[in-house]
Structure 1
Amino acid sequence: MTEILVQAVVEGKDPSMGRVVEHPAWPVIKDAVEEIRPWQAKDGSIDFAADGAPSKFVAELAVDRVVSAIEQLAPLLPHDAEYHHALVKDLRRWAEGGFQVPDFLDSLLAFQPAAHREHGLQHLVVFPMYTQNGNPDRNLEAVVLRMVWPDWLAELERTRYDNPLFCGITFEDFTSGYDTNSAVLFPETIAVREAPERFTWGGIFCDREAARFRRVTGAAVDILGLDLPDDIRDMVADQDRCQQAFVLWDMVHDRTHSHGDLPFDPFMIKQRQPFWMYGLEELRCDLTAFKEAVKLEADGFSQGRDVQYAVLFDRMFRFPVTGERVRNYDGLGGQLLFAYLHKHDVVRWTDNKLHIDWDRAPQVTNQLCAEIEKLYRDGIDRPKLVHWFAGYELVSRYLAPHPGSRWAKGPDALDLTQPPRKLVDDVLPDEFPLSMFYEALSKKLKDVIASTKGITADSAERVAA
């Protein structure tokens, strides 16, 4: 592999110019990976005694094809030379070890995309992994992506929103694990023998987020009869504008998890908490992005206004009616935002049409952000269980709990001799059911939301055309 790269440089070729997905080696990787995936168990291993399993020799041949194709593609990606070298070794070791539970820690540590945040830079990524909101099993996956790092975003990260691990990315092509609702590439999803001391990057596919947002928002606007201002209607119709909005939203959201008055581990790692606490944390991060977007608009950044309405529409239209109702904390956050704006007369559902007070929307949305920030600040001085009840009180001030909820009846309805984590068992799977408004909207949007599975910018444009 190294010899091929050196030869390309000696011959005066720019090895980073060609598109990976246009190289004949890319479909070889895709086909071989798709052949391997059905053989794998949930943990990524291959049980050769299972029904339908291949011989070990056949599996080795498939891995050999992946390795050979990676070596052919490596000259296009000199910035990933160390990763691809380690990746080939991990693949070969997996095969030589009899395809036991895969361990790709060495190649994971060698992959450092955040160290090369250059707009348009390609990466070829191959790992055994699960895809969040996609495939729960650690199958082998391959994805080609590009970095999204325009100058304006790089400057904002350098001067206002330091986030050295964040990678905005877009899809070029992918295997089946990403033909799903997954819009992230996170290192913690990869099969390794032990978790690294710290992760050094995290990627979010802004093209999928933007395409999904445009399709669902467009349908919701039509269903609800919402009259959009011209500039927001233009934004929803423009994939590039929406991608810029989402990459900025994601960058600010991501850093907010570790900024502010935090009464607990913001990522809630290895913690068991009621799902409304997760919902409040995700909403806090989104509303912080909204608040910053208001400031950015005032400072002349056009992306600031787009972020505000991306947050409002995605949170109000898509989040509450997406996915199952079991502990749906993102859905809860969307319900809470809508209910808060409704109770403050920013949104009105009248004559079967939705009306939004565009002038008051920023101010009142920021009010909700301030209420959640106060909850967090006060939580620093509270015991865990008291903080959970305070969070419940905030949510139930605007959303009606399930009539059968024990938590809604207060502390006297719970066995407080148990540790807090045990009281989570008393939380209903759907503690805050959908309102009648959202029940009706869900029925009308469910097919549209289902159609966004595996969506990319290209597929969205083909449908629009």
Structure 2
Amino acid sequence: MTEILVQDAASAAISTADRVIEHPAWPRLKNAVEEIRPWQSKDGSIDFDADGAPTRAAAEATLDRVIDAVEELSPLLPHDAAYHRALATDLRTWADGAFGVPDFLDSLLAFQPATGRADGLQHLVVFPMYTQNGNPDRNLEAVALRMVWPDWLAELERTRYDNPLFCGITFEDFTSGYDTHSAVLFPETIAVREAPERFTWGGIFCDREAARFRAVTTEAVGVLGLELPEDIRALVGDQKRCQKAFVLWDMVHDRTHSHGDLPFDPFMIKQRQPFWMYGLEELRCDLTAFKEAVRLEADGFPQGRDVQYAVLFDRMFRFPVTGERVRNYDGLGGQLLFAYLHQHDVVRWTDNTLKIDWERAPQVTNQLCAEIEKLYRDGIDRPKLVHWFAAYELVSSYLSPHPGSRWAKGPDALDLTQPPRKLVDDVLPDEFPLSMFYEALSKKLKNVIASTKGIRASDQVAVGAASGAAA
């Protein structure tokens, strides 16, 4: 056991000292991957009969460059040695199979970042995958990343928020699939022949989340004329402090999907439901993180207050006006939070200026969390369709449905002889349209939101001065 601990410590030391992206093999790896990506079809295969396709020999030569670069970089990362060996095998198998639909299950199973979480530990990841909120195709990607696991976070996970699969991570560098809005690395996105029995890790890039939050919040504060308290203004101006808030938020949010009164599969992966159900689930997890942050602040953790305002501002300013309106469940959750706080007089929009009652915000936000928790608890005793209507009633108590909505007219407007999953077809693509407030805000924030595509932490160095001026 002692020997294993010493090896782990040595691995962390070498991985922290020798940056993957500063090694000459890293740009060679990136260039080779970028050469392969345009040749791939949506499913990750290469059609050699397509226009602009390479010869098979050329594809094999480029893939050899990928394998050579991985093998050259692997000694920097001894904790990933088994994964890199399996990766090389999967890459060669892909080539041997004439570059058909890729199958990287063996290397996925060999990659186990959650078993050795150490602050600053590097990983080199190469997989064919899509990137959520980014590239929908399963292209080959290369990502150099670093673990975020400070002692205070590890202690909270050990004592209060057990989440052994969670990986807080930051970008070192990446290929084109992450030059997008994606801020997650999930095993579910990787091309495999069959899904493993269970996934053993999930990574969220807290640096991109923090940088995106700072950019959008700074703009929103200026547009809305919101006066920030000094400590919140300092938060928005500090990238490292924001990263701490987001990694804590993410850890608590992630575990909440499987905690509490759950009337359904918490991730809802295998169920077809109206998108407001997904919106309520994501909002429940965020508001649980908010509630825990209030407790953490009371217990003397400075990150607690930061998480509260990261949740409030990201949910109210960025989420409702980001992405398409078609079944935008994260946007719906943000709309609901703002409407709830507005109708409970915590936020006021008067004289074209937004005002927040900072003292009442925690209490009233926790009230909304309690309403959603009650919905879930009561849902355990309800049939599925009755539960869906109860959830619709909760949302429509604060948000106006589209005037053409069948669901808004109640059960009599639907064909209840159909199974519930068929009634999802009667849900409008934008069942709860943006309010006039958000229609106007969307136009004013669209440019800054677009600018956060592919954002890096280093892009946000100057935001502090801007947020101070806005306030």
Task: List per-residue Cα deviations over 1:292-327 (Å, max 9, x = no partner).
Answer: 000000000000000000000000000000000000
Give the CA deviation at 1:201. 0.1
Give the SS at the match of 2:363.
Answer: helix
1:25-36 map, 5 Å: 25-36=25-36
Give the CA deviation at 1:370. 0.1
| 1:9 paired residue number | none
TM-score with structure 2 setting the length: 0.95
- The answer to whether the Cα contact below 8 Å between 1:16 and 1:76 also exists between their aligned partners in 2 is no
CA distance in 2 between counterparts of 1:194 and 1:371 reads 39
- The answer to whether the Cα contact below 8 Å between 1:83 and 1:108 also exists between their aligned partners in 2 is yes
Please say if 1:438 is aligned against 2:438.
yes
| 2:65 paired residue number | 65
Give the CA deviation at 1:459. 1.9
Give the CA deviation at 1:463. 7.2
| 2:5 paired residue number | none
Please say if 1:263 is aligned against 2:271.
no
State the AA in 2 paired with 1:82.
Answer: A
CA distance in 2 between counterparts of 1:368 and 1:255 reads 19
- The answer to whether the Cα contact below 8 Å between 2:214 and 2:463 also exists between their aligned partners in 1 is no
- The answer to whether the Cα contact below 8 Å between 1:170 and 1:207 also exists between their aligned partners in 2 is yes
Give the SS at the match of 1:354.
Answer: strand
CA distance in 1 between counterparts of 2:21 and 2:421 reads 48
CA distance in 1 between counterparts of 2:384 and 2:178 reads 37
RMSD of Structure 2 on Structure 1 (CA): 1.0
Higher relative contact order (CA 8 A, sep 6+): 2
Give the SS at the match of 1:348.
Answer: strand
Give the CA deviation at 1:96. 1.3
C-alpha change, 1:348 and 1:15, in structure 2 (3 Å) is closer
CA distance in 2 between counterparts of 1:437 and 1:422 reads 33
CA distance in 2 between counterparts of 1:461 and 1:426 reads 47
Give the CA deviation at 1:17. 2.5
Give the CA deviation at 1:270. 1.6
| Matched-pair identity in % | 85
| 2:22 paired residue number | 22
1:231-270 map, 5 Å: 231-270=231-270
Aligned structure 1 segments of 4 or more residues deviating by more than 3 angstroms: 13-16, 462-465
C-alpha change, 1:426 and 1:75, in structure 2 (3 Å) is same
Give the CA deviation at 1:461. 2.0
CA distance in 1 between counterparts of 2:17 and 2:81 reads 15
CA distance in 2 between counterparts of 1:413 and 1:236 reads 47
| 2:95 paired residue number | 95
Unaligned runs of 5+ in 1: 1-12
- The answer to whether the Cα contact below 8 Å between 1:254 and 1:285 also exists between their aligned partners in 2 is yes
Give the CA deviation at 1:107. 0.3
Give the CA deviation at 1:458. 1.0
- The answer to whether the Cα contact below 8 Å between 1:248 and 1:307 also exists between their aligned partners in 2 is yes
| 2:356 paired residue number | 356
- The answer to whether the Cα contact below 8 Å between 1:16 and 1:77 also exists between their aligned partners in 2 is no
Task: List per-residue Cα deviations over 1:115-150 (Å, max 9, x = no partner).
Answer: 110000000000000000000000000000000000
CA distance in 1 between counterparts of 2:460 and 2:84 reads 32
Task: List per-residue Cα deviations over 1:307-366 (Å, max 9, x = no partner).
Answer: 000000000000000000000000000000000000000000000000000000000000
State the AA in 2 paired with 1:461.
Answer: V
1:375-394 map, 5 Å: 375-394=375-394
Give the SS at the match of 1:126.
Answer: strand
Give the CA deviation at 1:269. 1.5
Give the SS at the match of 1:144.
Answer: strand
State the AA in 2 paired with 1:40.
Answer: Q
TM-score with structure 1 setting the length: 0.96
C-alpha change, 1:441 and 1:64, in structure 2 (3 Å) is same
Give the CA deviation at 1:460. 2.1
Task: List per-residue Cα deviations over 1:200-258 (Å, max 9, x = no partner).
Answer: 00000000000000000000000000000000000000000100000000000000000
Give the SS at the match of 2:412.
Answer: helix
CA distance in 2 between counterparts of 1:67 and 1:396 reads 54
